[in-house]
A and B are shown apart, each in its own frame.
Chain A
Amino acid sequence: MPYALREAFSAFRRAPLLTALSVVAIAFSLLVVGLFGLTAYNIHLAITGVEERVEVVAYLRDSASEAQVGIAREEIAAMPEVSELRYVSKTEALATAMRELSEFRDLFLDMEANPLPASIEVRLRPGSRDPTTVEALAATLAAYPFVEDVRFGQEWLERIFVLRRIAGGVALVIGGAFAAVAAIIIGSAVRVAVFARRDEISIMRLVGATDGFIRLPFLLEGLITGILGGAVAVGLTFLAYRIVSVALIEVAWIPVEWVLLGVLAGTALGFAASALAVRRHLRAV
């Protein structure tokens, strides 16, 4: 192993520019993934925050009888996705409106009848706050004959989910493209290293070194390049995070497992690319 490691490092000394290029290419491909991770994580946090407020409100007709509403309340509260249910009577609604919309206070006072409907506000359990469940629940509520209208934050909820999907797709495409470029650059780095060591390789074959032994330095070289690339990507992602945090909006840093996963991905990329390249180029020596 010391021999292989020594040779791997000597390859860096031999072609520092190419090594740097390989590291940068891997770093960029993973930076894209890292930025996506940062975005996705913060969207996730935002959604979780907003989701807690996901509420489906059913406005009741004035004709609804107390008995009907009582039964409906029990039925709805028993649904598995419902965590909390609150009944807001017409009087309560008016009181809230007058409190929150004080500029219309006089208007409300002048009215002979209370124009605001009673409502049932339903909160959902975590895990049941996705658009599909919310819509399904809204449809169930709307089916009660005494329910006049159902409201929920349908549009923004869908938009956030779409946004997350788009960000994922974009990161996949750009990250994939950078990964391919990284693999190509690593491939040429291996080719240069094989070429520089062709005399050694032919002697190794002559005296009976195994293929695995001959390949090991190149694989280690790819592995080290990958680790460095992954580490640089983490650094760059952190830099981007700081810049956004300071200059734009407060965002959260990604969990440490994601960081480790990123470095691991870089390592795997470097290793796989050099394994492929060394297989190809060693044949030519």
Chain B
Amino acid sequence: MKRRKERLVVLTLLGVLAINYPVLSLASLERMVWGVPLLWFYLLAFWVVFVILIALTMRRGPLEKS
């Protein structure tokens, strides 16, 4: 896949942004989302999305199938 390296670097940088101050502080509230704490929910949701994005970026391109 073209530019996979660049995509991965950008993905990581976005990840660092998403789970650090100040973005993270927005989720640090005593609020519940579907019965679970917002902060906990936010971090787990981030985790799931991040894993999915890695998997999508690592998918074999049409040229790599062999």
Same assembly? no
Point out residues on A near B: beta carbons under 8 Å: none
Point out residues on B near A: beta carbons under 8 Å: none
